């Protein structure tokens, strides 16, 4: 039986081993074969499974921050940052690698410009490539431009990383997932979109703020397309198991839902010349972590639907189990009439955007 170490009871422990003196607060002792066995009271960290290589395509704010978070979590031995602008991925990757001794991580970050050779064999690829909407550019113009970019990226992934699981972040998210799946020819299990994790994080943060509670105690999920038609599931929103409807009235909840739907636009309005990247990168990394460590997390992700929730032939945000095989299960939950109508409306919006793209 383990018990706290008391120097007065075991004076020989530190007297015979002076180097243990500084460890007194962290030691406990017990008899093992007539001797004293010392072990730390702090949790022991066992080695985790680490991937060999993860690639991030796009060295803008979202991509570069994603690469940094992946490296600091040591989810792979190597993180490759790829971009079309020479010097940018190399410089940012080098800067991140030089921070490794301070952060205490050994993941090597390397950069490559217009060269997918270093990405060969990546187990996971995160796609953040694309442009932001410019003044005078229609939504359809943006869709077609980014579809061309993601198409080129997908061709490179197919060639250099044929066994990779792809996490798409590029917008319009649901359509870019479809482009990636069509071009790579990968099964739906290996092409997943990041949207719902981000939208849910915003929803949870706004609820925590309104209730003055920890974000960790907010359980929630946002489904549907990544846009104005997303569907926060109020019926599944709880605070440490307490239905949120018992803590906030419907008017307040509706305001929070509306703010969630416009979460990205709110940040753009503040930044003027940029968009969100801290929360989007965190969301992408949470998905990659569940895959890399086979955590089996249930996360809202954009997945290719084949009859689930009454929808087919499109990507839409739904509850997904993510593990070492990528998308391992789509979990169909019972929705209220209002939530079903919202999800159907969101799906229709995604299909309209898909119609603007010709592959």
Q: Number of helices and strands (H, E) in the chain?
A: 10, 17
Tell me the β-bridge partners of 80.
55, 110
160 is catalytic: no
Q: Is 18 helix (H, G, I), strand (E, B) or coil?
A: helix
Which residues have CB under 8 Å from 31's CB, separation 6+? 37
Can you tell me the distance from the alpha carbon of 155 to that of 307, in angstroms, rounded to the nearest whole number? Answer: 28
**Cβ neighbourhood burial of 102 (10 Å; 0-12, 13-18, 19+):** exposed
Q: How many C-alpha atoms does 220 have within 13 Å on its Cβ side?
A: 31
Tell me the β-bridge partners of 54.
79, 124
Question: Is the omega angle on the peptide bond into residue 3 within 30 degrees of 0, that is, cis?
Answer: no
Cα dihedral value 101, 103, 107, 110, nearest 10: -80
- Which one from 53, 202, 204, 226 is the annotated catalytic residue? 226
Active site residues: 226
């Amino acid at each position: 039986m383990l018990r706290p170490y008391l120097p007065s009871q075991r004076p020989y422990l530190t007297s015979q081993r002076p180097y243990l003196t500084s460890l007194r607060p962290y030691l406990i002792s017990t008899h093992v074969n007539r001797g004293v066995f010392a072990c730390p009271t702090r949790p022991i960290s066992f080695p985790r499974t680490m991937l060999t290589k993860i690639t991030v395509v796009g060295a803008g704010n979202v991509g570069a921050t994603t690469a940094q978070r992946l490296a600091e979590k040591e989810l792979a031995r190597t993180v490759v940052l790829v971009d079309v602008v020479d010097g940018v991925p190399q410089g940012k990757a080098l800067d991140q690698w030089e921070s490794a001794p301070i952060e205490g991580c050994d993941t090597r970050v390397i950069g490559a410009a217009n060269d997918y050779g270093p990405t060969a064999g990546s187990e996971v690829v995160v796609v953040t490539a694309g442009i932001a909407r410019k003044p005078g550019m229609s939504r359809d113009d943006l869709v077609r431009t980014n579809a061309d970019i993601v198409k080129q990226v997908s061709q490179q992934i197919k060639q250099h990383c044929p066994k990779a699981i792809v996490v798409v972040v590029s917008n319009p998210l649901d359509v870019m997932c479809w482009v990636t799946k069509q071009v790579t020819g990968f099964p739906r299990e290996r092409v997943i979109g990041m949207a719902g994790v981000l939208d849910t994080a915003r929803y949870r943060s706004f609820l925590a703020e309104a209730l003055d509670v920890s974000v960790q105690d907010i359980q929630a999920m946002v489904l549907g397309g990544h846009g104005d038609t997303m569907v926060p599931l109020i019926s599944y929103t709880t605070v440490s198991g307490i239905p949120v409807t018992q803590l906030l009235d419907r008017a307040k909840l509706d305001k929070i839902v509306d703010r969630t739907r416009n979460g990205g636009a709110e940040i753009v309005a503040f930044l003027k010349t940029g968009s969100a990247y801290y929360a989007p990168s965190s969301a992408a990394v949470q998905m990659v972590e569940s895959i890399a460590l086979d955590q089996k997390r249930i996360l809202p992700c954009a997945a290719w639907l084949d009859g689930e929730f009454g929808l087919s032939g499109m990507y839409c945000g739904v509850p997904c189990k993510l593990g070492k095989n990528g998308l391992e299960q789509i979990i169909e939950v019972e929705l209220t009439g209002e939530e079903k109508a919202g999800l159907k409306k969101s799906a229709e919006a995604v299909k309209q955007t898909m119609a603007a793209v010709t592959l």
